[in-house]
Amino acid sequence: QYLCAKHEERRVRANDREYNEKFQYASNCIMTSKYNIVTFLPVNLFEQFQEVANTYFLFLLILQLIPQISSLSWFTTIVPLALVLSITAVKDATDDYFRHKSDNQVNNRQSQVLIRGSLQNEKWMNVRVGDIIKLENNQFVAADLLLLSSSEPHGLCYIETAELDGESNMKVRQSVSVTSALGDPNNLALFDGEVVCEPPNNKLDRFCGTLYWRDKKYTLTNQNMLLRGCVLRNTEACYGLVIFAGPDTKLMQNSGRTKFKRTSIDRLMNTLVLWIFGFLVCMGVILAVGNAVWEREVGSLFQSYLPWDPPVDNFLFSAFLSFWSYVIILNTVVPISLYVSVEVIRLGHSYFINWDQQMFCSQCNTPAEARTTTLNEELGQVEYIFSDKTGTLTQNIMSFNKCSINGKTYGTDPLDFTPFNPLADPNFCFYDDTLLESVKVGDTHTHKFFRLLSLCHTVMSEEKSEGELFYKAQSPDEGALVTAARNFGFVFRSRTPGTITTTEMGRPVTYTLLAILDFNNIRKRMSVIVRNPEGRICLYCKGADTVLLERLHPCNQELMNITSDHLNEYAADGLRTLALAYRDLSEDEWEAWSESHRCADKAASCREDRLAAAYEQIEQDMMLLGATAIEDKLQEGVPETIAVLSLANIKIWVLTGDKQETAVNIGYSCKMLTDDMTEVFIISGHTVQSVRQELGSVCLSLSLFSLQCPPPSPPPPPSNLMDNISGEFALVINGHSLAHALEADMETEFVSTACACKAVICCRVTPLQKAQVVELIKKHKKAVTLAIGDGANDVSMIKSAHIGVGISGQEGIQAVLASDYSFSQFRFLQRLLLVHGRWSYLRMCRFLCYFFYKNFAFTMVHFWFGFFCGFSAQTVYDQYFITLYNIVYTSLPVLAMGIFDQDVPDQRSLEYPKLYEPGQLNLLFNKREFFICIAQGIYTSVVLFFVPCAVLSNATQSTGVPLADYQTFAVTTATTLVIVVSVQIALDTGFWTVINHVFVWGSLGLYFTIMFALHSQTLFKIFPNQFHFVGSAQSTLLQPVVWLTIALATAICIVPVLAFRFLKVDLKPQLSDTVRHTQLVRQKKRKPVGRSVGGAWRGVGRVSEGRLGTRGSRRSGYAFAHQEGFGELITSGKNMRLSSLALANFASRHSSSWIDTLRRKKHSHAHTPPSASGESSPPLYRLPLLFLAGE
C-alpha cells in the first residue's frame, strides 16, 4: 500500500515558486468547459461528426454533390442535417456556457496566500503549487493541501467531505507534528520543506509522500491531506501547502465521465438500424441489377432520345452509379430525424418526471429529478430492484416507541412534554401519559429506568446555549434512548472522562464515571459503573434480551416472565428491543473488580478475551428494570410500495450493510418476508464448503417443491427449472457467504437459487459486493436492473445497474450525483416505474413502430417506381416534399403521441400492477413487432404506388388533358401518403389531447398550405429553375378522380389494419385493453370511481393483519448498531472536544476499512482457513483508533 512509484514523483518546495515552476505543474485554474468562442464551431462539429449517424448523412451529402449520382437535390439532406446539428450545437453551447460560468465562479474565489511573509488575497486560479494557504472555518479547500498547522491542539482540523465522497459527517485531519508547531505566518513564511510524493491520481483515500525538512524525513499519508472540495469545519483556521492544484487535484481527477448508459431499446434500435442499412443495400443492389439489365436491353436502344451521360460508357458503370443514386433516395428509411425525435421524446418524459407533484416530497422540498434523459423507457422494463436498507427503506430514524417498566407496558397516546419539562426535545413523540404520570409521581422503578438510559450510553452532548442540547450518538437507536430519558426528565447534559452530568427532574446531578463496559457484537450489551453523589456505586446495563436475561438475579423470575411477554409483543410489532438491568455494587466488590479489570486491560496477550472475561464477571446477578422498544422507522409507504412492485413481477433484493437480525426484521416489517412464506433460507457459512453445502440444501428443498428433482449441487440445475417453482421462498445471505457464492464456480448455482426465491436479502455486504451482485444478475438473467440507495456505499451499485436511483436524503449527495433518477422517498419508486416508466416504454414503442412504418411507406414507393422508370433513381415525389416529409409533415403528430400518449390513466396502472408486465417481457417493441411495422409500411407503399398508377394511367381531366403526367402523379401519391399516415397516427394515438389534435390537423393543414405555396406562381416567377411544380397542386387537387384515388388508397391501406386491430382487441385483449374498456364502461355507467385504488391491495392488508404469531427469526431484534461503542475513547479522555466530532469520523473510516478488510479477506481465503469465530468476524469491527493514539 505504501509503495510509491519511484520513477514518477512530484517534488514541491514550500514558498519557492521559482523552484516549483521548473516542473510546470498545472495551475489552480480549472477548466471543465470544452469550448471557447473560437473553437466552438470546429470542435463541436468534429465531435458531432464522430456520431456514426451524422457521418453517414455527411457521406450522403457528398454523394449528392456528384452530378451523375445525385438523384436528389443537395438540400434534401442538408436541411435535416443542419437542423439536427444546430439543435445539438445549441444544447452543447448552453451546457458549456453554464460550465464556463461555474468555472469562473470557482476560479475567482478568494483565498489567502502567504506571499513573502504576509497573507494576501488571491484568486483561486492564481494559487500555485508550493504556496502556503490559510483556510478559515467553513471555507472550501482551494487545492489539495498538505496540512501544516491549525488553530486546534495537536494540529488537528475537521473537514466535511460531502462534495468529495458524499459522506456528510466530519473527518479529522492532523498535521505532521513538526509542522504543527509553526503556528503563525512568520514561521510559516520561513518554512522551506520539500515534499516528494506520488503523481496526481484519483484515489481519494490514499496519499503517500515524504516531507524533507531540516535534513529529516517525515512520512506523509492521507491523514495529513486536505483535499479540494472539502470544507473546513469547527476549526478556526489552518495552513496548508499546495501539493496538487487545479486539474491535478483528486477531485478533478475523479470527475471523469461516468459510464454512458444505453437502454435496451437503444441497443435494439441500433441493431435494427443496421438491419435497415443492410436492407437498403439489398434494395440498392436489386435496383442496380435492374438498371444494368434495363440499360442493356432498353436504355442502349433508347439512346437516340436519351444518350448516356459522358462518363457512362456501358451498362455496368451505369448500374454502379445507379446503386449510389438509390442509396441516396432510399436513405429516408433511416431518417436523421429518428435520433433527434427519440431525444426529444425522452426529454419530454424526463420533464414529466421532474414535474410530477406526486413525486414531490413537501417535507424536504425536493421534487423528483431525472438526472439522465436517456433511460426513461427502460424504467418500464425493470425486473430486478436492488435496494439499500438504511435511509432507503428505513428513515434511519429510531423512535422510542414503547417500554416496559417493572412489568408494566407503556406506549399508546401522544404526549406533550413542554409543560412538564422545558428541556424536552420538541421532535420527540411518545404515546402514553401514564408513563409521564408515573415519572411525576416519582415511581422508583421508572426513575431508575430513565436514569439508566441517561447514564448508560456513549453519547456525546453539545450545548450551544442553555437548553439547546445536541446529542451525537454512535448509533441512532442509542440517541433515541438518551433522548427519551431527556424528555422524561432525566437529561444528559455533559460528560468528562470521569464524570457524567445530568439534570434529574430539574436537579443537576454529577455522577462519577468509574468504568464503561463497552458494547461489542459478542457481548451484545453495554454497562457503565457510576458512583452517584451520595457515593453509592451502581452498574447499569442494557443489552439484548437473550444475553441480559441470563444474567439476572434469580429473584427476578416473575418480572422476567412478564417482561419477556412484553418483549415478544414488541418484537412482533417489528420493534427493536433492549432489556435494561442494574446492579448495586458495594465498595469492596468494585475495588476487587477494578483490580482485575486493570490487570486485564494491561495484559499484553489476549487482551480482548481477558477484558471480556472481566466484564462477564461483574455483569451478574443484575436486577431487571424493564425493556425498551425502538421503532426503526420505515419510510412512508414502503410495505405498500414493495407489495405493488412485487405484484408487478419485479423482484426486490435488499442489499444492506446491516446485520442479519436487523435486515430480517426490516424484511418482515416491510412485507418482503411474510409468515405465509413456505420457507426462509438463511445462508451464513464462512467457508467455501459450508456455503456450497447450504446452497445445495436450499436447492434440494426448492426442487422438492418444484417436484422436478434436479440433482443437488453439481451440476447446478438450469435456471429455467428453478423458475417455475410453486410456493414462496426467501433467501437471506450474509456478506461473508456471499463472497464465496459470487465466485465463478458457484455463481450460477447462486443465481438460479436466488432467483427462484421471491425475496432475497443480502446483509453485511460491502459496496463492492453490492455492485457484484448487480453485475451477476445483469450477466446471468439479461434482465433490466434498478439499484436504489442513498449513501456513498450505494454508489458502486447505482453505477453498475442499468438504472440507478438516488434517494436524496440525509446521507450526502454522492448517491444522487451518481444516480440517473433521484427523489426523496422510496415509495415514489412505484410511481416512477409503474406510471412514468410504463408510459415511457409504451410511448417509445408506439413511436418507434409508427416511425419505421411511416418511413417505409414513404420510401418504398421509390423502389416500386424504379421498375417503371428504367431504374434511373427518379424520385416519385417533389424534392421539397422529400425534404419536408420527415421534419415538417409527419414529425409533430408522432412526437405528440410519443410524449403524451397514455393507454390507461396513472391510478389504474398502480391499481393493476400486472400492466407492467409487457415491458418486462419486451412485448411492445421487439424484432417481431418491427417486422410487422415494416411489412405494414411496405404494404402501404405498394398501395400508394400501384393504386394511383392504375387509376391515373388512363384517367384524364375533365378538359381531356391526361392525368398521367409525372407531376400530377407525384402530387397525388404524396397527398395520399400524408393522408394515410395521418389516419394511421390517428388510429395509433390512444390519448387525444388538444395538442394531438392541433398537431395532427395542423400537419395536414401545413402540408396543403406549403404545397400550394411551393406550387404557386409567385415563387415560380422568382426562381423559375427551382419550382418546377408550378400549378400542379391546383390542377391536380381540383380533379375528382384524384380525390377518389386518395380515398380508395386510404381505404385499402387502413381497412385491413382496422380489422386486424379490432380482432386482436376483441379476441385476445391485453390487460391494458381490458382496463381501458372497463374505464369506458365505468364512464358510461357513471359509476363513482371511489373504490379505485386498492383493488389489488386487499390481499396485502389481510396478510399484515393476520400476522400476529411470533417467529424466532424476528424475535431477537435488539437495538444496537453492530459497531463497537466509544467507551475507550471517552475514558481515554484524550481530547473531549475532538471526540464529539470524531464520532462521525468513526463511522466513515469504519466503512472504508471495512471494504479493505473484506477485500483482503476474500483474497486470503484461498490460502488460510478462516477462524471459526461464531457469528461475527472481529477483524471487521475493530475500530481504527490508532490515529488518535499516535503522537
> Which residue in 955, 1004, 1019, 1185 binds another protein (CB under 8 A)?
955
Estimate to the nearest angstrom the gap between the alpha carbon of 183 and the chain centroid: 45
Query: CA 1114, 1115, 1120 angle in degrees (round to 5)?
Result: 90
Task: Give the interface segment with another protein, choosing from 38-46, 82-90, 765-773, 1048-1056 (CB under 8 A).
Answer: 1048-1056
Nearest to 1071, CA basis, from 925, 926, 900, 924: 924
The DSSP 8-state label assigned to residue 956 in this structure reads: B
The answer to whether the annotation marks 478 as part of a ligand binding site is: yes
The answer to whether the annotation marks 313 as part of a ligand binding site is: no
Q: Is there binding between residue 1017 and another protein (CB under 8 A)?
A: yes
Q: Is there binding between residue 949 and another protein (CB under 8 A)?
A: yes
Q: Is there binding between residue 939 and another protein (CB under 8 A)?
A: no
The answer to whether the annotation marks 388 as part of a ligand binding site is: yes
> How far, in Å, CA of 523 to CA of 422, rounded?
37
Phi-psi region of 158 (alpha: psi -120 to 50; beta: other; left: phi over 0): beta
> How far, in Å, CA of 1013 to CA of 1007, rounded?
10
Nearest to 880, CA basis, from 27, 76, 291: 76
The DSSP 8-state label assigned to residue 622 in this structure reads: B
Q: Is there binding between residue 1065 and another protein (CB under 8 A)?
A: yes
**Cell 466513515 found at:** 1148
Residue 227 · residue 204 · CB < 8 Å: yes
Residue 193 · residue 211 · CB < 8 Å: yes
The DSSP 8-state label assigned to residue 193 in this structure reads: -
Of 650 and 1144, which CB lies nearer to another protein in the complex structure?
Answer: 1144
> Which residue in 512, 687, 1079, 1151 binds another protein (CB under 8 A)?
1079
**Cell 467531505 found at:** 161
Q: Is there binding between residue 1166 and another protein (CB under 8 A)?
A: no
| 1078: amino acid identity, one letter | T
The answer to whether the annotation marks 770 as part of a ligand binding site is: yes
Q: Is there binding between residue 223 and another protein (CB under 8 A)?
A: no
Residues 813-832 that bind another protein (CB under 8 A): 813
Per-residue x/- mask for another protein, residues 175 to 214, rule CB under 8 A?
----------------------------------------
Residue 821 · residue 806 · CB < 8 Å: yes
Of 126 and 1079, which CB lies nearer to another protein in the complex structure?
Answer: 1079
- Nearest approach in angstroms of CB 205 to another protein is 20
Residues 869-908 that bind another protein (CB under 8 A): 869-870, 872-874, 900, 902, 906
Q: Is there binding between residue 634 and another protein (CB under 8 A)?
A: no
> Which residue in 175, 332, 399, 859 binds another protein (CB under 8 A)?
399
Task: Give the interface segment with another protein, choosing from 113-121, 719-727, 764-772, 1019-1027 (CB under 8 A).
Answer: 1019-1027
Per-residue x/- mask for another protein, residues 559 to 578, rule CB under 8 A?
--------------------
> How far, in Å, CA of 830 to CA of 635, rounded?
14
Q: Is there binding between residue 301 and another protein (CB under 8 A)?
A: yes
Q: Is there binding between residue 1070 and another protein (CB under 8 A)?
A: no
Of 50 and 954, which CB lies nearer to another protein in the complex structure?
Answer: 954
Bridge-based pairing state of the strands 144-150 and 225-226: antiparallel
The DSSP 8-state label assigned to residue 724 in this structure reads: S
Task: Give the interface segment with another protein, choosing from 144-152, 379-387, 518-526, 864-872 (CB under 8 A).
Answer: 864-872
C-alpha cell at 590: 468494585
573 part of the active site: no
C-alpha cell at 426: 420538541
Of 869 and 888, which CB lies nearer to another protein in the complex structure?
Answer: 869
CB atoms within 10 A of CB 1178: 14
Contacts of 107 (CB under 8 A, 6+ apart): 28, 29, 30, 123, 124, 125
> Which residue in 66, 82, 90, 298 binds another protein (CB under 8 A)?
298
Q: Is there binding between residue 1041 and another protein (CB under 8 A)?
A: yes
Of 630 and 762, which CB lies nearer to another protein in the complex structure?
Answer: 630
- Nearest approach in angstroms of CB 199 to another protein is 23
> How far, in Å, CA of 698 to CA of 692, rounded?
10
> How far, in Å, CA of 134 to CA of 241, rounded?
9
Of 352 and 850, which CB lies nearer to another protein in the complex structure?
Answer: 352
Residues 342-381 that bind another protein (CB under 8 A): 352, 354-357, 360, 362-367
Q: Is there binding between residue 1062 and another protein (CB under 8 A)?
A: yes
The answer to whether the annotation marks 790 as part of a ligand binding site is: yes
- Nearest approach in angstroms of CB 709 to another protein is 32
Task: Give the interface segment with another protein, choosing from 674-682, 768-776, 947-955, 977-985 (CB under 8 A).
Answer: 947-955
CB atoms within 10 A of CB 412: 12
The answer to whether the annotation marks 764 as part of a ligand binding site is: yes
The answer to whether the annotation marks 1029 as part of a ligand binding site is: no
| 259: amino acid identity, one letter | K
Q: Is there binding between residue 141 and another protein (CB under 8 A)?
A: no
Residues 1090-1119 that bind another protein (CB under 8 A): 1095
Q: Is there binding between residue 961 and another protein (CB under 8 A)?
A: yes
Bridge-based pairing state of the strands 525-531 and 537-543: antiparallel
> Which residue in 17, 598, 1061, 1102 binds another protein (CB under 8 A)?
1061
Residues 225-284 that bind another protein (CB under 8 A): 229, 231, 255
Task: Give the interface segment with another protein, choosing from 74-82, 238-246, 532-540, 1052-1060 (CB under 8 A).
Answer: 1052-1060
> How far, in Å, CA of 798 to CA of 822, rounded?
11
- Nearest approach in angstroms of CB 52 to another protein is 29
Of 363 and 444, which CB lies nearer to another protein in the complex structure?
Answer: 363
Residues 995-1014 that bind another protein (CB under 8 A): 995-996
Query: Alpha helices, DSSP H only, in 761-825?
Result: 767-781, 795-800, 814-818
- Nearest approach in angstroms of CB 752 to another protein is 30
Nearest to 368, CA basis, from 382, 358, 376: 358
The answer to whether the annotation marks 390 as part of a ligand binding site is: yes
Residues 60-79 that bind another protein (CB under 8 A): 67, 71
Does 715 sit behind a cis peptide bond, omega within 30 degrees of 0 on the bond before it?
yes
Residue 386 · residue 797 · CB < 8 Å: yes
Of 5 and 950, which CB lies nearer to another protein in the complex structure?
Answer: 950
C-alpha cell at 411: 406506549
| 478: amino acid identity, one letter | E
Q: Which of 388, 477, 632, 878 is catalytic?
A: 388
Question: Would you list the DSSP string of 1091-1150?
Answer: T-TTGGGHHHHHHHHH--S--HHHHT-BS--SS--SHHHHHH-S-HHHHHHHHHHHHHHH
> Which residue in 90, 555, 606, 1055 binds another protein (CB under 8 A)?
1055
Residue 63 · residue 124 · CB < 8 Å: no
- Residues touching another protein: how many (CB under 8 A)? 144
- Nearest approach in angstroms of CB 626 to another protein is 20
The answer to whether the annotation marks 408 as part of a ligand binding site is: no
Of 4 and 1065, which CB lies nearer to another protein in the complex structure?
Answer: 1065
The DSSP 8-state label assigned to residue 832 in this structure reads: I
| 657: amino acid identity, one letter | G
Q: Is the dihedral of CA 401, 405, 407, 408 positive or negative?
A: negative
Q: Is there binding between residue 95 and another protein (CB under 8 A)?
A: no
Q: Is there binding between residue 950 and another protein (CB under 8 A)?
A: yes
Q: Is there binding between residue 946 and another protein (CB under 8 A)?
A: no
| 844: amino acid identity, one letter | M
517, β-bridge pairs: 527
| Catalytic center residues | 388
Task: List the binding residues.
Answer: 388-390, 478, 519, 542, 576, 656-658, 764, 770, 790, 793-794
Task: List the binding residues for Mg(2+).
Answer: 388, 390, 790, 794
Task: List the binding residues for ATP.
Answer: 388-390, 478, 519, 542, 576, 656-658, 764, 770, 793-794
